[in-house]
Amino acid sequence: MAEPVALAALMLDAAFGWPRALHARIGHPVGLFARVIEGCERRWNRPALPAAARRLLGIATVAILLGVAGGSGWLLARGADTLGWFATALLAWPALAQRSLYDHVRPVADCLRRDDLTGARQAVAMIVGRDIEELDESGVARAAIESLAESFCDGVTAPLFWLLAGGLPGIWVYKAVNTADSLIGHREERWRAFGWTAARLDDLMNLIPARIGGALICLAGRGGWRVMWRDARRHASPNAGWTEAAMAGALGLRLAGPIAYDGVMQDKEWIGEGRATATAGDIDRALRIYVGVCLLLWLTAGGVAIWAR
């Protein structure tokens, strides 16, 4: 991909995000993946079936999804080739989430600065799956920072990696797998067998991007290397811990720890060292690091384009 497709896609996303008017009119491309997944899940993930059968049907679901995403990406790439590299950038743009992630995290800090804890909880509920009703200001701030760090991989680093590695088919296959993991790749009894393939494939596709993302956070944050290497594996996910530990180290905070989901407290390990009490100022610092990391990705994408020429 000699043309600056990746750099242009990053710039489009940073400038516009996914516009609300466009979303209201046509939705978002991942909505197609969600409909495929939900349709298969309704028909095939029946509790009466044995776990082995549900796992096989989960494999079939992922295979169908890969066919839809990869085939659509290939057809889009063929069409874009006739129009020029900027058309490819336009078609890759919706798969990135730089602007969206920033725009979802910023209101949490703004509400905390106004001492609006209710508003901060509502804002952070848009980006986390944990129970938020009992979170104090520090808990809300930590949740926002953790989500920013983890979603940086899913929403920015990994899509960019697969765009550079596989063009439009690569980036849209990744988004399809990541969507499947978010919908069915859970450990609860209902999902464990059916979503096993989606979860394992998502782990595999994030393996390299997560470690790249962690290193970039340490570079942009001017620190955090020791904490990242020490604590990355304390996270339940084999990949999310890299960016979260890097952010914790760069900020000098402790993240994660005991978290409640659906009324059940989970005794997760702490990641990082230093303060466990986070503030709106810490969210601001995390966002500054995030902007710096995104700029590093812009430089990387530009460098790849120049090198490929």
Q: Is the pLDDT of residue 24 over 80?
A: no
pLDDT, position 166: 93
The secondary structure of residue 234, as a DSSP letter, is G
Q: Is the pLDDT of residue 1 over 70?
A: no
Range of lowest pLDDT (53-57, 103-107, 110-114, 122-126): 122-126
Separation CA 177–CA 206 (nearest Å): 10
Residue with tokens 């008017």: 21
Separation CA 186–CA 204 (nearest Å): 16
Q: What is the mean pLDDT of residues 85-111?
A: 94
The whole domain housing 165 covers 5-308
pLDDT band at residue 20 using 50, 70 and 90 as cut-offs: confident
Distances (CA, A) of 29 to 5, 159, 167, 176, 289: 19, 14, 16, 10, 29
CA 69 to chain centre: 18
Tokens matching residue 130? 């944990």
pLDDT band at residue 51 using 50, 70 and 90 as cut-offs: very high
Give residue-wise pLDDT tens across range 233-290: 998 889 999 999 999 999 999 998 877 676 666 778 899 998 889 999 999 999 999 9
Q: Is the pLDDT of residue 79 over 70?
A: yes
* Cβ–Cβ under 8 Å, residues 220 and 292: yes
pLDDT, position 169: 95
Give residue-wise pLDDT tens across range 151-194: 999 999 999 999 999 999 999 999 999 999 999 998 888 999 99
Number of domains into which the chain is organized: 1
Residues in Cβ contact with 20 at an 8 Å cutoff, skipping those fewer than 6 apart: none
Tokens matching residue 19? 């516009």
